[in-house]
Homo-oligomer: A and B are copies of this chain.
Amino acid sequence: MQKLRENIVQDTTLDTRREKNKRRTRQAIRAAAIELFTKQGFADTTVEQIAAAAEISTRTFFNYFDTKEQAVSLPYGLRAEASISAHGQNDNDSWQSIEAACLTLATALEADTDERPTLIAGIRLCQREPMLRDQASAQRGRWEQLMLSSLDQTLVNRVRVNAAAGATWASLSIWAENNGSASLVQTVREALGTISPNN
Q: Of the candidates B2, B135, B166, B171, which one forms a contact with A166 in the assembled complex, judged by CB atoms under 8 Å apart?
A: B166
Per the bound structure, the CA–CA distance linking A170 and B158 in Å amounts to 6
User: Least Cβ distance of A75 to chain B in Å?
Assistant: 17
Per the bound structure, the CA–CA distance linking A175 and B124 in Å amounts to 35
Are B155's CB and A187's CB within 8 A?
yes
Are A158's CB and B173's CB within 8 A?
yes
Closest to A197 in B: B194
With A137-B141, A197-B194 known as contacts, the answer to whether A169 contacts B162 (CB < 8 A) is yes
A44, CB-defined interface residue at 8 Å: yes
Are B155's CB and A159's CB within 8 A?
no
Copies in the complex: 2
**Complex interface residues of chain A between 2 and 61 (CB less than 8 A to chain B):** 2, 41, 43-44
A161 partner residues in chain B, CB cutoff 8 A: 166
A195, CB-defined interface residue at 8 Å: yes
A79 partner residues in chain B, CB cutoff 8 A: none
**Complex interface residues of chain A between 165 and 199 (CB less than 8 A to chain B):** 165-167, 169-171, 173-174, 187, 190-191, 194-198
Pairs A-B, 8 closest by C-beta atoms: A162-B166, A137-B141, A134-B138, A163-B163, A158-B170, A198-B198, A1-B43, A195-B195
Give 24 CB contacts A-B under 8 Å.
A1-B44, A2-B43, A133-B138, A133-B141, A134-B138, A134-B142, A136-B141, A137-B142, A144-B166, A155-B190, A158-B170, A158-B174, A159-B171, A159-B194, A159-B195, A162-B166, A162-B169, A162-B170, A163-B166, A163-B194, A163-B195, A165-B166, A166-B166, A195-B197
